[in-house]
Amino acid sequence: MLSPLGFALLRRLSDGKLHSGEALAAATGVTRARVSQILRASESAGFTLERVRGVGYRLVDPVPFLDREAIVAALGAMASRLKIEVADSVDSTSTELLRRAARQDVDHQVLVAEWQTGGRGRRGRNWTAVAGGSLTFSLGWRFEQGAGFLAGLSLAVGVALGRALDAAGFEDIQLKWPNDLVYRHCKIGGILIEISGDALGPALAVIGVGLNVRLPARARHDIAQPVTDLAAIDRERALDRNRLLAIILAELYAVLERYARDGFAAFVAEWQRRHSLQKKPVRVLLPDGSVAAGEVVGVDASGALVLDQRGRRIRFVSGEVSLRRG
Ligand code: BTN
């Protein structure tokens, strides 16, 4: 487990240089033995440390930490339109924003965490992420319309992420219905949208995004499907998560404003262009265990998947179904 002190030590080590146990102990006000103990624990969160006897500690493959100032600087003037908070560790950024929503306004609030201890995926799954090697954040956004209007929101968010990753230099990342991000058919990120409010509105959407930035092999083992990370596409660019988050937030902002005016219809064509399984043969696994096969026609204006089954069109809403290549 990583304690706040663990994060304080890792921040110092994030420059990749050797730091003596004495210096680390003095900087954090604990004993050298405690420094050693805390750093050992940090390895369980995904960091690899080199210990040089008699000299000190060095982070192997150092990565710049998430940093609010850096995110705000990269966002420029747009930063004033969002409330941005960086946390070392929370159970889940989405859970935390939903909790806060009960007592405060979380509209336009961004919560990004270096580490989630209980990250959640779609359909009740866990979301595996590692400190320093993932980008996990949630954004609260209030819509005047009700929950029905938001059916295609997670797909529109996928478009925003696709645009942002293109702009950040990670080409060829595609979408997979309903809201996975994939690279060469391996999952690289996911979107989880949770909505609270009345059916007729207004509604609060908590938009959770998780991206694999540099996933160590051990973390991949925990995930029950083929996964990849941004470092596999471009190792150098993947290091700067602060810049990447700023690019994503700017694209998200524009997409959410447009969505509030025009709904998902405004994004259908682009979503289909970005879909890894567009016009491909697929199987849809239904909650009762049955399977529907067909060719992907596309998505409709509510974000439902449309299949062609021997000349017959069938429609699936995301809920409990899951999609496989045919
Ligand atoms: C999925 O593909 O199943 C969706 C994954 C969404 C993960 C993100 S990480 C930030 C936010 N907080 C969570 O607990 N989940 C979302």
Q: Which domains does the chain have, with CATH numbers?
A: 4-59 (1.10.10.10), 68-273 (3.30.930.10), 277-323 (2.30.30.100)
Over the chain, what is the mean pLDDT? 93
∠193-194-199 over CA atoms, to 5°?
Answer: 120
122 CA → ligand 1 middle, Å: 7
| C-alpha 158 – ligand 1 centre gap (Å) | 13
Among the atoms of ligand 1, which is closest to the Cα of residue 179?
2
Query: Distance from the CA of 193 to the center of ligand 1, in angstroms?
Result: 9
Mutate to test the pocket of ligand 1, among 136, 182, 241 (most ligand atoms within 8 A of CB): 136
User: What is the DSSP code (8-state) at residue 126?
Assistant: B
Residues 57-76 have a mean pLDDT of: 94
For residues 188 and 228, give the distance between their C-alpha atoms in angstroms, rounded to a whole number.
Answer: 5
pLDDT band at 62, cuts 50/70/90?
Answer: confident
Task: Tell me the pLDDT tens digit for each residue of 178-188.
Answer: 999 999 999 99
Q: What angle separates helix 241-262 from helix 153-167, to the nearest 10 degrees?
A: 140
CA of residue 119 to ligand 1 center, whole Å: 6
Q: Which atom of ligand 1 is nearest to the CA of 93?
A: 12
Pocket of ligand 1 (CB under 6 A): 92-94, 116, 119-122, 125, 127, 136-138, 180, 190-192, 208-210
Nearest Cα to Cα of residue 86 among 103, 111, 63: 111
Task: Using the mean position of ligand 1's atoms as its centre, give its distance from the Cα of residue 58 in Å.
Answer: 31
Give CA separation, 87 vs 7, 112, 114, 212, 228, in Å.
10, 6, 6, 18, 25
pTM: 0.94
pLDDT value of residue 1: 67
